[in-house]
Amino acid sequence: MKNILYLADCNLIHDLKWISFFSTQTTKYQCFVIIRQAHAKQIDKEKLAIVQAKYNFKVVGIINDFSVARFWQNFKQKNIIQQAIKDYKIDIFHIFYAEPNALWANFNYNCKTILTTRGTDVLKTIPEFFNKKNILAKLVSYFYKRAFSRFDAIISTSTQQIQSIENHLVKTKKIQLIRTGVDVDKILNNNPNHSLETLLNKKYILFPRNMRPIYNHEFAINSLLLTNKEIKDNYTVVFVDKNAQDKNYVSKIDNLLAHSGLNYLFLDAVSQDILFELYKKAALVVMCPLSDGTPVSAIEAMVCKTPLILPPLAYDKDIFSNGEVFLLANWEEKNLATAIEDILTQKIKLNTNLAQQKAILLANRQTEMEKLAAIYAQILGC
């Protein structure tokens, strides 16, 4: 049996999906988690206990973030990690999300270390340090480069992330592409426990990304205001995650919607089964993040064969191709408004059947996590 220690966010479903693939294989793996103090503050003890029981892992420590400016403070946190590795006989320390978590690889541990990057971390946040000239930014850049050179394996969820790592951090053959993927069977055979009565007999456009500034919902709302009267009168726009942690951003979006004149619903965070139902019944799914990896939400929409609009970012072309999904050419609000109109009026017809086939072939979570299991075995020599 192999013991895996994750540095992960117990609030984040993407982290939990990766962990649960291994934690449920109780004859092969035991899974443990260390969480950041910033994330621990967002989840109470009762909810954390429920999450641990549901996903079958044990939280064994809480640490503050790595500090470059106050480097001496890192040793206490490093000791928490090392003690957990010793106490639970950890074979692999697997760090999720590079910024700032990758910096812990600057220390030595008595086990193998792996990093998973997700998108914004290596596409935007870390590269920004390399564009700054002050001493602190140069130190941060140095420690990121050093950390990336020390991992036994680096996993990225898109080819763009791999290119960014090689451009800014390290050139190594240790980087491999593994997408988070989606539960294809669960999506296709979804049987929700709750019906969305407020959306019955309504045509709607779904905006499924969480309420965080990086997901750029104001751009979507401003674009919707430029659509024609027929769209505004006949379609409801649906946003989710109204109960998100970022209350200021939620208030901003809520205020924009309230004064927009649009027909809208602003739902709290919804369960996976309801989200799958939302995808399937939507006339169109739209997302406009400022940076992205290989978004699970986009793949879920594709598996549901729902028309999808994505922003003008460098997505992996093997999955996200114009014709199967609609990729905006630029960040002009009128461009998104026109795309919405053209797709809803069938002026543009996307090949959603091919989109579904690509999503299933290239982003099935079962297949992708089996690749990760092979990496675990490879670096452990078994």
| Residue-by-residue pLDDT tens, the chain, 382 positions | 999 999 999 988 889 999 999 999 999 999 999 999 999 998 888 999 999 999 999 999 999 999 999 999 999 999 999 999 999 999 999 999 999 999 999 999 999 999 999 988 999 999 999 888 899 999 999 999 999 999 999 999 999 999 999 999 999 889 999 998 999 998 998 776 666 766 767 899 999 999 999 999 999 999 999 999 999 999 999 999 999 989 999 999 999 999 999 999 999 999 888 999 999 999 999 999 998 888 999 999 999 999 999 999 989 899 999 999 999 999 999 999 999 999 999 999 999 999 999 999 999 999 999 999 999 999 998 7
Entry pTM: 0.82
Tokens of 357: 């086939």
Long-range contacts (CB closer than 8 Å, 24 or more residues apart) made by 361-365: 362/179, 362/318, 362/319, 363/179, 363/180, 363/181, 363/182, 363/294, 363/299, 363/319, 364/181, 364/182, 364/184, 365/17, 365/21, 365/180, 365/181, 365/182, 365/183, 365/184
**Of 353, 346, 314, 367, nearest to 182 (Cα)?**
367
Domains and CATH numbers, the chain: 2-181+364-380 (3.40.50.2000), 184-362 (3.40.50.2000)
